[in-house]
Structure 1
């Protein structure tokens, strides 16, 4: 039985490194016939186990050395307890096959993955070199004293200077107003959302904000008496709490948006221009040249430091990210890949002439990168390769 377990480990390593041959499969069938319980363990492991797309890692595992160590040494309970609870939960899937040896492999794999990007996984369907998982809800909050806190969906309560309370509930950051302390208006927080992330929050005045990937929002712990001002770099969707005598101002690199109570999407990355789309209410836009325009719901303004261009907006397209999907409408491949680059945190390379063909359609932001690329390439006339987090775009021949 022990020999069969050790042989099964060899085949598992071959499976994950992509070197399992037809002869190996025949040998496996014989092992399963001799001991049907090993078939169950094999299937459970390959379906639930931690998988590595790095064949070199699996190929470099020294199983002979591991066997020698394990046959002469049995880990103590205290040694096993020293592994974190999270790791033990993941390593339990190894124990049913060959306990000590698989724990050795498991620890080696976790050490290896600690230096790797956990978004990179094996591609099981589309035959890319690897796949990349989609982004999720995550951000970093910089408090007024410079301390940084990693945010996720887990419930938590934080405290700022002067006892201001911040809490995370249902994956959303809330501020408990404390208007009695005027000094709070001089204290700033900054919410930084990395590539492959997004986050939701409610500002001290009740304004709701959805912050997209690779974006940064700065705001005071309490707004002043005459104006509510925040600063945005990146993209965010705002539902502004209505206050007739205290307008809400969003400052960007290309201009300021002034509102009373409304919903709008603002994209203000460090590119040639920004744009704002009004969903309802009213906004006034002032660019760096002090030119001012007011738009009505359903309109979109592209603006930089000099010009402003008003057009009719496709509301569904502009706020699709906030609803959890990509929406493309006659979009160039460069614009499509720019959105994917932020959500999957990838680097995009174009090889050869860039196609002029445009693409339309919608894709859930919950799918893996490989699935998204497969959907796009059918209509955009391109081919893709994935190498870790680098995607190469080739025009179809």
Structure 2
């Protein structure tokens, strides 16, 4: 197959979302061959430019255009043969891509979903509460009052869940609840001791309905921010898959998503973090414990970059674009595709509002001049712009 037509077929498959991993690798190699290839590919992904090409294509006769290109090619000196062949490849690729995608769009027009024309908004307050009895309750905007033998549970649309101990009741054993936060959601709760917890998307917290004894222990998967009520007689303990955090009374954030570094970020007070090797690290405000495949380290950080999510912001400081899009996709629930591997490692600094439409956030990121984004429904493609 002619190289131009091969690349054209791959680009068509990529735009349709049908490209194989091998085709994506081949597309990456082709883009890296020249800046012209990169510019051509970016222009094809640009929605406005694409629509213009489609309108022009409707007035073209492919066979006539092909013959004209061949005729013009014969008039050039052999010294320019290779250069003209590259131009021919680009021209044919453009014709084939525009023609094929136009037909594809035509076939899909009748079943195009509303989301293609609409916005992708941010998440909302939502959680799944599993009581100690096994009963599951979906918590959203509706105010609810639940009560067990030992605890009164208030669900308020503006304040999340509050646990209130019922005085005078004896407790034989701890009764645990579990709160799970789906993608595109977050939730708040107040534990029975008054400790406030903010849970981020894709997180799970297991905790007793009422704390008893000489410690207050919860288990976390995902990300949470804790504002712990001081109690010298009963330290507050957060257990994750790779760490155990012990505090008396303080504010701190914990992140423990699968496949990512385990982070404990201290805002106020003092905490001790014990890793899986049973080595303990005491940190102070403005410090962070990082546990990853390299081991455990302590660093000084600007805490807002790791805790502003609870206040309605995404804050990134020289974060890789891959990490940024990964975090945004968890909140906005979209699929992200990168046109080459290098674009994922671009580093950006930004402060974004969580409840803005995704297009607003993408415009801010693209203002850096390093990347551009194209969106079709809930699929977002990221392309690096050559300078």
TM-score, shorter chain, exceeding 0.5 = yes
**Given the alignment, which residue of 249, 272, 278 partners 1:261?**
249
Q: Secondary structure at the residue paired with 1:234?
A: strand
Structure 1 360/184 Cα, relative in aligned 2: closer, same or farther at 3 Å? farther
Q: CA deviation at 1:305?
A: 7.5
CA distance in structure 2 between the partners assigned to 1:56 and 1:131 by the alignment: 23
Matched, 1:391 2:380: yes
Tell whether the 8 Å contact from 2:125 to 2:185 is kept in structure 1 after alignment.
yes
Q: CA deviation at 1:188?
A: 0.9
CA distance in structure 1 between the partners assigned to 2:283 and 2:315 by the alignment: 23
**Given the alignment, which residue of 168, 174, 181 partners 2:155?**
168
Matched, 1:358 2:347: yes
**Given the alignment, which residue of 330, 347, 352 partners 1:342?**
330
CA distance in structure 2 between the partners assigned to 1:390 and 1:149 by the alignment: 31
What does 1:33-44 align with in structure 2 at a 5 Å threshold? Answer: none
- Provide the residue aligned with 1:333 in structure 2: 321
Structure 1 352/136 Cα, relative in aligned 2: closer, same or farther at 3 Å? same
- Provide the residue aligned with 2:166 in structure 1: 178
CA distance in structure 2 between the partners assigned to 1:56 and 1:224 by the alignment: 64
Q: CA deviation at 1:347?
A: 2.0
Aligned pair count reads: 281
What does 1:141-220 align with in structure 2 at a 5 Å threshold? Answer: 141-160=129-148, 162=149, 164-169=151-156, 170-178=158-166, 180-183=168-171, 185-220=173-208
Q: Secondary structure at the residue paired with 2:342?
A: coil
Query: What root-mean-square deviation, in Å, do the aligned CA atoms of Structure 1 and Structure 2 show?
Result: 2.5
Gaps of 5+ in 1: 1-53, 61-111, 124-129
Q: Which has the higher contact order (CA 8 A, sep 6+)?
A: 2
Provide Cα deviations, 1:311-344, integer angstroms capped at 9, x if missing partner: 1111221111011011111111011111101110
Q: Secondary structure at the residue paired with 1:186?
A: coil
Structure 1 149/56 Cα, relative in aligned 2: closer, same or farther at 3 Å? farther
Provide Cα deviations, 1:90-140, integer angstroms capped at 9, x if missing partner: xxxxxxxxxxxxxxxxxxxxxx9xxx8xxx7455xxxxxx53111111111
- Provide the residue aligned with 1:50 in structure 2: none
CA distance in structure 2 between the partners assigned to 1:395 and 1:180 by the alignment: 64
Q: CA deviation at 1:163?
A: 5.6
- Provide the residue aligned with 2:100 in structure 1: none
Provide Cα deviations, 1:153-191, integer angstroms capped at 9, x if missing partner: 33211223x263211123310011136445475211111
CA distance in structure 2 between the partners assigned to 1:144 and 1:385 by the alignment: 46
Tell whether the 8 Å contact from 1:215 to 1:232 is kept in structure 2 after alignment.
yes
CA distance in structure 2 between the partners assigned to 1:146 and 1:280 by the alignment: 36
**Given the alignment, which residue of 281, 295, 298 partners 1:293?**
281
**Given the alignment, which residue of 252, 258, 262 partners 2:240?**
252
CA distance in structure 2 between the partners assigned to 1:137 and 1:202 by the alignment: 15
More moved, 341-350 vs 256-265: 341-350
Q: CA deviation at 1:391?
A: 1.9
TM-score by length of 2: 0.67
CA distance in structure 1 between the partners assigned to 2:284 and 2:381 by the alignment: 41
CA distance in structure 1 between the partners assigned to 2:122 and 2:256 by the alignment: 22
CA distance in structure 2 between the partners assigned to 1:176 and 1:222 by the alignment: 8
Q: Secondary structure at the residue paired with 2:346?
A: coil
CA distance in structure 1 between the partners assigned to 2:168 and 2:322 by the alignment: 50
Provide Cα deviations, 1:17-36, integer angstroms capped at 9, x if missing partner: xxxxxxxxxxxxxxxxxxxx
- Provide the residue aligned with 2:78 in structure 1: none
**Given the alignment, which residue of 271, 279, 296 partners 2:259?**
271
Q: Secondary structure at the residue paired with 1:393?
A: strand
Q: Secondary structure at the residue paired with 1:145?
A: coil
Deviation >6 Å, runs of 4+? 54-58
TM-score by length of 1: 0.66
- Provide the residue aligned with 2:356 in structure 1: 367
- Provide the residue aligned with 1:310 in structure 2: 298
Q: Secondary structure at the residue paired with 1:362?
A: strand
CA distance in structure 2 between the partners assigned to 1:351 and 1:367 by the alignment: 25
